[in-house]
Chains A and B, each alone.
Chain A
Amino acid sequence: MPKPFITSSIGRKYVMAVTGLILFGFVIVHMLGNLQIFLGQEALNAYAEHLEDFGALLWIARGILLTALVAHMISALSLAIENKNARPIPYAVQDTVQASFASRTMVMTGLIIFAFVIFHLAHLTFGKIHPEVYSLMDAKGRHDLYSVVILGFQDYRVAGTYVLAMFFLCLHLSHGISSLFQSLGLNNVKTQPVFKTAAKLIALLIFIGNCSIPMASLFGVLKPAGGF
């Protein structure tokens, strides 16, 4: 008797793909939003405040993201456990023909990214990493996210953590973005190389985009507002 779609092997791959796509979308939007830091203090702080104006919508979006994240992780871990059990005795000699490093380390990179998300929330949402600068206000009385970010990244340990995390994210996405099309059944011989190359390219762009902020802060390209 077939299992319900959502609990079957392929069903859970669909869950992985759909939630992965949502999270990927978030990564893109999040990056584009953050890159406004290069437009200056006013742009970023206004954007941050503007986001808060969405109110209920923002909470719905956060709900969807959280659900996607949880579903992505539950599916991944349940599949990973099954996968582990599917080969109780490992090979004495392990080798692969062509499987990419990224594809072989998805669970690890995923868990690292999850840990990073917690760190990132603690850092810039809850202000737990540098509490002394988190309460800064700008001239218009808004939370001065602009300065908080730049000051935070002037700590090379924080900047380093972010860059490292982005490396893992990039790795995860380089397999994940093309893989999701395969899981959704939208792949064929013609599209396969396109998806593969595009995935790697997009992942790289995300890496560059996201790393540009901590790097620019660390090396003084971006400077906090006021006299800090």
Chain B
Amino acid sequence: MALDSKIPQGPLEKKWQSRKFELKLVNPANKRKYKVIVVGSGLAGASASATLSELGYNVSCFCFQDSPRRAHSIAAQGGINAAKNYQNDGDSVQRLFYDTIKGGDFRAREANVYRLAEISTAIIDQCVAQGVPFAREYGGTLANRSFGGAQVSRTFYARGQTGQQLLLGAYQALERQISLGKVKMHSRHEMLELVVVDGHAKGIVTRNLVTGKIESHAADAVVLATGGYSNAFYLSTNAVGCNVTAIWRAHRKGAFFANPCYTQIHPTCIPVSGDYQSKLTLMSESLRNDGRIWVPKQKGDKRAPGDIPEAERDYYLERKYPSYGNLAPRDIASRSAKEVCDEGRGVGEHGRGVYLDFADAIKRLGENTIRERYGNLIDMYERITGENPYKVPMRIYPALHYTMGGLWVDYHLMSNLPGLFVLGEANFSDHGANRLGASALMQGLADGYFILPYTIGDYFATHKKPKVSTDHAEFKKTEAEATAKIQKLLSVKGKRTPASFHRELGHLLWEYCGMARTEAGLKTALAKIPVLREEFWKNVNVMGEGEDFNQSLERAGRVADFMEFAELMCLDALERKESCGGHFRSEYQTAEGEAKRDDANFCYAAAWEFKGVGAKPELHKEPLTFESIHLAERNYK
């Protein structure tokens, strides 16, 4: 099957304009005859639901939390990029486009990324009109900051809660449509299966998480905006409920999964303190502006940090990357931390951490200045660890943070299954192999507010398929599948909890498919995962009943899907014999330890087709062609 990315012809800067004109429209009076299912209520899902409803479509929105406002977009701290050039510092759509595609290590589609940069400005306008309280200057204009190493100030922010404020804006727009009766909201509902009729996505099967009831929902199109899969690694900065289930089940029904090996690791998280740990907490990277990162030179040096003399400390980032030092890019900083810990020089109880030391900065600038700059972060650190960073150095360690891979979509954000659209982190489209800071929020809202509402109409106008109701045999069949899977989980009655399997899978992935991957390691993982999965289905212990509020059953279903997904991620990582962005294969690096791309052989998006559990999926390659930019190598020495 050939992948048609539907990229418009013509010059880059005209592509979206001309495509918008080419797209077929649905008559306003006819829009109410179409029903759209949106799964997920984060930035992408909520903005899409609200906007489609404003246009006149009937929308059903689903989320597994108790309210759409809980979606994990809410936790994004830093900000949202937009090429407004309010600061007159030389920003432009072209520059945001270039930074994003370069940041993605040239593994994203040019046309998509350009469109994202183009739309970015309208997002800010829309959010301000909704009442999002972005930071302001004294004169009343919007404030910007530079973020993630960008050379221009294009990031809009609302304290450290930008994601929260943007999500609440979209949530409020959604609630307005609910009050108008145009959106039907289904909270505490989890999508279990996609229903495909004659090759088109026509609905979903859900589980009501309060009553346990399995329900079918039919529609004319299905939109998945269900976020990323970082939680495959068990510990990540994602919310504990984040999961791969919706996109994985859609994948099993025929949707291609693209670039699953592209995962992003954030270098400054609070380290794991014990086996019980349920999630990792991110701290802003800005801490690296004034903190110095070091470990003891001696292996297994258990002295308190204050007792280790200067000469016996290794400021390894400053040593290895003299010009960038502690500000080396995320992936380099992360990998270096892993290396020193692997050498046995890690700090903290479990040896999985490095010091981020403010002692020099405090000496130079005074404690008050440090408090002004990082007070809230330092307070948060103290709340979680009980240690005072003004006295002892912070301990940090990298953690999974974002996943660039996702379901394959064309320029219209439609997957290879017609009628199935995928938005936000759940798709693979805009960030290539690595996402720039403050771009995730931008993409979620661009997809939901300004892309899908155009492209979905074209699908309706050009595919005049007969309506399908939930009485259709395919719904009955899919419902039965979902029910059977739940029964199976409940009937194993083994000895281990779903969480313990999840933890083991996470350790495995972190070890072999984490920051630095090797062929041997990935092969080990690919050998171990099926064994673990087999044990899961023989020995998992799910308490309680199916027709009840049952959190261990929810967890078990999600872990079951992670078990299958993990194999695909490792396979993709194994097959991509190059290093690019968040995917670092130790075999492929430059003499300086930099990621070494192989543009001749791997300049493509890998879209995998499901062939059965345990069976090797089929790889479809979408070649990436670059018309307007030159592929360059990163260098941060």
Do A and B touch each other in the complex, judged by CB within 8 A?
no
B residues lining the A interface (CB < 8 Å) = none
